[in-house]
Amino acid sequence: MTETGGYLVVGGSTRPTRRSPVIAQWVADLGGPEFSVVDLRDLNLGLDDEPGIPAIHDYVCETTRAWSAMVSAAKGVVFVTPQYNWGYPAALKNAIDHLYREWKGKPVLLVTYGSRGGDKCAAQLRDILGGLDVRLTATTPGLKLGRDRVAANDGAIEPEIDFADQRDEVKAALGELLALAATNAS
Ligand SMILES: Cc1cc2nc3c(=O)[nH]c(=O)nc-3n(C[C@H](O)[C@H](O)[C@H](O)COP(=O)(O)O)c2cc1C
Q: Convert the pLDDT of each residue in 136-159 to its tens digit.
A: 999 999 999 988 877 776 667 899
User: Check: CATH 3.40.50.360 for 7-182?
Assistant: yes
Q: Which of 37, 39, 40, 84 to mutate to test the pocket of ligand 1 (most atoms within 8 A of CB)?
A: 84
Mean pLDDT of the chain: 94
Is the pLDDT score of 1 beyond 90? no
Question: Is 41's C-beta closer than 6 angstroms to any atom of ligand 1?
Answer: no
Among protein residues, the one with the nearest Cα to ligand 1's atom 2 is 84
Among protein residues, the one with the nearest Cα to ligand 1's atom 14 is 84
Ligand 1, residue 85: give the atom nearest the CA: 8
More confident residue, 186 or 52: 52
Q: Exposed e or buried b for every residue in 4-25, given b needs 16+ CB within 10 A?
A: bebbbbbbbbbeeebbbbbbbb
